[in-house]
Structure 1
Amino acid sequence: MGHEFIALLMFSSMMVLLLTGKRVFGAIGFVAVIAALLLWGDGGSEMAFSAAMKLMKWYPLLTLPMFVFMGYMLSESGLAEDLYKMFHVWMGPLHGGLAIGTIGLMVVISAMNGLSVAGMAIGASIALPELLRRGYDKIMVTGVIQAGSSLGILIPPSVVLVLYGMIARQPVGQLWLAGVFPGLMMAGLFVLYIVIRCRLQPSLGPALSEAERQQVSRREKLLLLKAGIAPLFIFFCMTGLFLMGITSLVESSAVGAAAAMFTALVKGRLTRTVMEETLRKTLGITCMFMWIIL
């Protein structure tokens, strides 16, 4: 039996298990265990133990819970909602402006947590109800949120690139640098599509009415720009210091997590409930990733 056929059989078995509703780590783990026992017999368990111990000794793996924690701290403390309000006010007067603002929100969120699932959750809970309430087309709204959340796998600090670097033994810093331009280019193409589509069909993305624009004064608009200071601060503390060579990859992830906590504390939102929810969700996502890797 050739290696190609074995790989195809394993992949097919995994997809069947996923289609039956099994969790990702359960499907992958079950197929891997059965394949190891059939191919290597008793030696399969020794290989699994050796691979797990080798993985646990890989120092950059510490970045995973840090980045996940940072993303959920951003979400649970309401910092992401402040960002959306800023984009809502400044981009709302344009046709499709709220959709463009949602893409901008996703870019900023991706630059602060590196998780597509976090971007999807934030977009669905914050942007989706507002866009539908404003009369945006449902198909466009769901497409914008799904496309925008996908940027998290490219824009640093991408957790997916960290995992890829760990498995392929490639420098994560270079992978991050390689993902920045494609991620921003994709975001620009998304915005261009929204602009052209809403220019041709204005009903897909209605602009804010004149009455709604007048409800927000110029001073309030300028004050809302302060919401953009927090993500810039977190991004500089994390990615900026790393690219400047001041911190290592693991150190930058810890600095980013601390910066997210500090920002929430300054804004008076670092409550016990926020911390408990952040830690609980971080533990769940981290355990899921660890099972998948193992």
Structure 2
Amino acid sequence: MYSVNYHRAISVTEAVNRVKGTEGRFLSGGMTLLPAMKTRLSSPSEVVDLAHISELRGVKVANGTVTIGAITTHAEVATDPALKGAVPAVSYLAGHIGDPHVRNKGTIGGSIANNDPAADYPAALLALAATIVTDRREIAADDFFTGLFETALEEAEMVTAVRFGVPDKSGYAKFPNPASRYAITGVFVAQGAGGVRVAVTGAGENGVFRASEIEAALAKNFDPSALDGIKVPSDGLMGDIHASPEYRANLISVMAKRAVAQANG
């Protein structure tokens, strides 16, 4: 067993100061960090628990804008009545992450900071043109997700919230791994004042990405039928024991149709 110092922070400032200048890590829900520590894939010198920083928790919907605190759990996102009324697709997405244990411990901030290529939230935030708020700046979702398990976060920088506008319509559909419930392919679609945005998770070799072919088709007609005959290239898609790049390319079209049907329903 290696030595690690555990800290329970009560403010954002304290949490950041505890990590700054060390090999420390922030602990949000622990769904990724703790298993990584058990297998020695991560060996932080400090673990700073964020669970008691009340300002980081909760969902707020006001004036057409949604703000979700970083340590808000998936279960809280899934069941928040204001969010369900404003952007039900995000609540639906959160309600289909993992199992009840994961949903009651895992957090939105921890998920996007980890940026697993098969995680659900990155697709939602990219499609919704969200802003990721940290302790020091605001980052557009288009700039935040930079690759497999990589983000624009700098050393000791902490996600404090995510913020996005309420779209006119949105929907999410995924083909889940039957064991982990991670997305083998997931597609989030959103239609709003800025047009149509479509983001894909679980399929790209470099993580979450926007599907330009589908966006162009839906911009002309926001209906599942608009995607009939649309072929998504398999170049740059993942291939593994679960699905080939070609299979994932087909799944993108299928999941996009289902997401649009959900948005229109």
Pick the structure with more helix per residue. 1
Q: TM-score, normalised by structure 1?
A: 0.23
Pick the structure with more strand per residue. 2
Q: Which has the higher contact order (CA 8 A, sep 6+)?
A: 1
Max Rg structure: 1
Q: TM-score, normalised by structure 2?
A: 0.25
